[in-house]
Structure 1
Amino acid sequence: MSPSTTPHAGSAPTATAAAAAPARHVPTREDRRRSPQRRRRVRRDAILFFALIAPNFLAILVFSYYPALYNIGLSFFDWDFVAPVPEFVGLSNYLELLTDPGFGEVLLNTLIFSGASVVVSIAGGLLLGSLMATKVPLTGFAQTMAFAPHMLPGAAVGTLWLFMFDPNYGLSRWLFSQIGLASPDWTTTSDWSLAAITIAYTWQRLGFVTVICYTAILDLPKDLYEAAALDGAHGWQLFRHMTLPLLSPITFFLSITGIISAAQAFDIISIMTNGGPGTSSSTLSWMVYEEAFKNFDIGAASSAATILLIILLVVTWMQVRAGDKKVSYA
């Protein structure tokens, strides 16, 4: 046999063996998903996840959801803090509340107070935030002064505005005297009491809204404004057609948080008007306090709190739906 034929003879068994060997199995995604190592890793990550969220979850459950559910349960009972066992009365607390002539005024006060404070604070915050974003002199000082009211306690804000609204010695007297009018009795007459607490609360929240709007305006894309300016847009046109649409997520957030916060306002009302005269400046949050800790009617207080919760849930749902529609249309 010649040397040239040796490699061909020797290669035959090797090719046969390679052909006879089974094909190597390549793990699929399903195999990797079912592997013991992956299952152990997923189990370990799940345990770590639940361990990290457990403290916050328990805190929310104990301090938020449980009190809300307990309050809803109390609304079906008659209790005065003294009786050892509450008496089940069904829906009678809700029926008495809804047929009370004063409840309609309280509900209307809540809607006016919440709506006016949210609308005015967002409009003022957008305007002041836009002015600050133009890099006017003393912008840092203006930011501090704008945000300062938000840092003050509600009791301090109420005391401050109580002095400013004083018809004999306050700032209101001086302002009205400049136009030859007498200052109204802001906090002692039913015609002005609701306006007084609305102005005070709006002033307190305006600084927070202004800083949020100012920060959001600084983050807006500058190239869009430059392109719009090249097309001839300026001033009010830029604000209306550029700034407002781009800030819609921020205004959506501020409107939801503003309504929830305003509907629960208590300290300013307590300091300035005490819910009066009569029920002219009483809101649902103040009604809950009066029924529970002045009249000792826990059933009526729980019913009012439950109605307030339902209103806030409905308003929030409507705002979320409106926000989703805006996003889909965009």
Structure 2
Amino acid sequence: MNKTVLVTGAAGFIGSSVTQALLARGDSVVGMDDLNPYYSPKRKLANLTEVQSSAPDNQAFRFIQGDIRDRSLIGRLFAEHRFDSVVHIAGMPGIRDSITNPALYYDINLNGTLTLLDGAVRRLTPKGQTTDLPRFIFASTSSVYGATRRIPFVESDPCDMPLAPYPASKRAAELLGFTYHHLYHLPFTALRLFTVYGPRGRPDMMAYKLADSIFLGRNVPIYANGQMKRDWTYVDDIVRGIIAAVDLPMEYEIINLGRGESVLLADFVGLIEELTRRKANLTTAPMPDTDMPCTFADISKARRLLGYDPSVSVQQGIARFLAWYEEYVRNGNE
């Protein structure tokens, strides 16, 4: 049965890909994005153009430019549409950037989530009884694991030592989701995403920076001589995991979405250099206090509950990303 889904952050990297996948299978999507200048709004508008051009039915996609903190707007959206699911991807990204403006990160990532949660429970009767509330899927982050020493990361870890305001705000939103599940029986799933890369990736992310270094000659700082490890996960696998969460009835769950494989940054760089037959312009830099030395997802829960099975290897993912990047740059984009 086709669904009606609200996707926040619909013009961004992951949000546009999720929106496109939902439309491709026949769902109706209301996509929301404020097109903020964290990176070029022109890129986001280009993402939207691709999404709209791929929609099988022009009536299936509606885009709203707006802020998730706008209570009046959110209230109208939930009054006008009976959403089956909310896929909440919008937020302020960037671990290191969150240090310079923690108040903004908390305002958007926590208060924005609160506004959406309030919208989602508006179907409650005056007596507080639920009337078929939407499933709320929240895009969280692997960085909530913070200073944990347990490897690989398991969802039952305490996650009480975040290393920057960004993961702290995301963890707080996860906890707020539990509160709304407890009080109002809102189905809430937090998906902890691990180092996502691929087409439409943000220009501040490492995979994109390395491609810029290879093809445009830009310098890229490499921390700890490339000895940090990351669970690099291709965007198509992440999208499949998110769609599975949209479809599966759950109460309150936290689920890791990664590849389940931790790869040295130095090896990731080496694969890019091998595939392009070019050298990246790298500069060494000390590890920031905000960064985790290793991320590594235990994805057994995702396999069990979602049937999640990441199929794109790191080498395959890099090759696909580079093919997209080269075409993107050839078309005059940077």
Tell me whether the two structures share a fold, i.e. TM-score over 0.5.
Answer: no
Q: Which has the larger share of strand?
A: 2
TM-score category (smaller protein): under 0.3
Give 1 or 2: higher helix fraction: 1
For the pair shown, the structure with the greater C-alpha radius of gyration is 1
Higher relative contact order (CA 8 A, sep 6+): 1
User: Normalised by the size of structure 1, how large is the TM-score?
Assistant: 0.22
